[in-house]
Amino acid sequence: MTKQEKVQFVINTLEKLYPEVPIPLDHIDPYTLLIAVLLSAQSTDKGVNKITPLLFAKADNPYDMVKLTVDEIREIIKPAGLSPMKSKGIYGLSKILIEKHGGKVPKNFKDLEELPSVGHKTASVVMSQAFGVPAFPVDTHIHRLMYRWNLTNGKNVAQTEKDAKRLFPKELWNKLHLQIIFYGREYSPARGWNVEKDIITKTIGRKSVLK
């Protein structure tokens, strides 16, 4: 297979398996999505979806969030892990949204990435899923699969994102990154991986990974 044929095989297979892809993190608007994505660092989506209703019952907008103390936020989000850092980030970004952006989540990468605890991946998720701007957020699943599929050298997530954007059509990015995440969880996990069930890696993957 040529690289382009491999890319098309990935697109076709994922579209068959996941014609519809729900956004894994429960949210009601860009702000609650931003908070949910921040909480998801080193935590599962399922775990975050248990915590956010408790947090959003008290504060689902930046104005209510800054009425809570950092310690109050931390107590609610503790099960998500990294709660000292995340609670400061949530409080800090809420304050900046009020002071600089009229309480709204900005619709550009520069302003998003200037917010506390918001990196490029978090900004990419918000841009793609909240605002529909083409982006290709790379999490551990996408990083692992792009390497297994021999579509990147796997040196770092920045390179993986660059390769993904170069190989896949821009109009597919927002759906495709979710499809790859779903596929990674179901067919190509980091642990307990069975290559016989992993049809994409079995068909186009690296020989060194298949051993």
Residues belonging to the active site: 121, 139
CA distance 34 to 123: 8
CA distance 82 to 52: 15
DSSP state letter for 171: G
Task: Convert 66-80 to b/e letters by CB count within 10 Å (16 or more is b).
Answer: bebeeebbbebbeeb
CA distance 171 to 29: 23
CA distance 189 to 181: 10
HSE-up of residue 10 (Cα within 13 Å, Cβ side):
31
Cβ count within 10 A of residue 27 = 21
Give the rounded distance of the alpha carbon of 181 from its chain centre: 9
CA distance 202 to 209: 10
The token pair at 137 is: 């957020």
